[in-house]
Amino acid sequence: MTHYFDHAATTPMRQVAMEAWVEHAGALNPGGQYGSGRKANSVLAQARETIASLLGAEPIEVVFTGSGTEANNLAVRGLFGASENNRVVSTLIEHPAVLETVKALAEQGAQVDYLPVTSEGFVESFDALETPAAVATCMWANNETGAIQPVEEIVQRADAHSTPVHIDAVQVAGHQPIDFGALGAATLAISPHKFGGPRGTGILLARRTPTPAPVLFGGGQERGLRSGTVDVAAAAATAAALAEAVSDMEAENVRIRKLRDELVAGVVRTVPDAVLTTREPALPGHAHFIFSGAHGDSLIMLLDALGIEASTGSACHSGVNRMSHVLEAMGVDAETGIGALRVTIGRTTTQEDVAYFLEHIGEVVERARLAGSF
Ligand code: PLP
């Protein structure tokens, strides 16, 4: 039996999403000008409407993409491409989907300024927003620490200088309320597999103006922002998953926070020198620790051998974990930061999972420390 603690990476698909997926798996081209095309298009339109209403957006603002990564790329590159301005404002704690996109723009000549973050992982100064930019981009909540960023303030500050803002809301959608209209961002990225929808699909919310310049070229589907035949079954499954996630959100967050707090208290009791990196305000399911003197890879392997599935939290390239760029931005030194372990609790986590984790974490940290931080 496995005990899954990597819900921030991906979470199991909800039954309602699987059912919607199977129901519409046979849908044909929603762009087809005949009966089966119109039928597929009406399923797609319904999914678009449901998603829009759950996120405070208009249906036309919902753009189906192939992943959260793609939604982030289309927004950041697209807003940059739509502007005469050569400046980008971002942060150094972004997920690689944004971080690497911004770096690529810098390599092409963009001037990039980063908003600084505190040692607790929160964006702290907004000075870089006082000068107009083509786009300012910031994540709503950090995927490693769970830290919730001051996105409302970022949008307000940027708006004062007519800088469009992109928000990477991949960790937030389906977990915290989102009102796209009220937020006032130009674009916002979502990844359904983080809230029980299908993997390999994404949503970009994009206001009518400023419209991002297209990055992909083709048949002009999805307002020309994401050409390619839309996956109707995935859209229907996403709508079903989001509807359930939003309706369960309040009760689920109370339950998840309780389990997380119990897990954190247990870890600190068992390993008194464990450092909890996650600070409030944070997503309720996140518990990010540093166990100095241990290597994150050892912790993960030892936990895995016991049927406990967790991660270091940083996107690992070819299976090799390095010190996370997020911890680096927070000023954690490389030797300490390599002992990171991210434990994320979600919809399927039970009290028994937490008890099992707490039963074993002490011996795991002890053994990992014997192996060293190499
Ligand atoms: N942005 C954040 C904050 C994430 O956590 C992730 C996934 O881990 C992504 C973007 C990328 O999403 P996807 O896996 O759908 O490409």
How confident is the model at residue 268, as a pLDDT?
Answer: 98
Strands 135-139 and 111-115: unpaired
How confident is the model at residue 319, as a pLDDT?
Answer: 59
Residue with the nearest Cα to atom 6 of ligand 1?
Answer: 170
10-residue block means of pLDDT along the chain (374 residues)?
A: 97 98 98 98 98 98 98 98 98 98 98 98 97 98 98 98 98 98 98 98 98 97 98 98 98 98 98 98 98 96 98 71 90 95 98 98 97 76
Question: Could you give the C-alpha distances from 245 to 8, 173, 238, 239, in angstroms and in order?
Answer: 15, 9, 10, 10
pTM strictly above 0.95: yes
How confident is the model at residue 181, as a pLDDT?
Answer: 98
**169 ligand 1 Cβ < 6 A:** no
How confident is the model at residue 2, as a pLDDT?
Answer: 96
Tokens of 271: 């390993």
Residue with the nearest Cα to atom 8 of ligand 1?
Answer: 9
Strands (E), 3-147: 3-4, 62-65, 87-91, 111-115, 135-139
Give the nearest ligand 1 atom to 94 CA. Answer: 3
Give the nearest ligand 1 atom to 69 CA. Answer: 16
Within 8 A by CB and 6+ apart from 301, the residues are: none
Residue with the nearest Cα to atom 15 of ligand 1?
Answer: 68
CA distance 217 to 3: 43
How confident is the model at residue 144, as a pLDDT?
Answer: 98
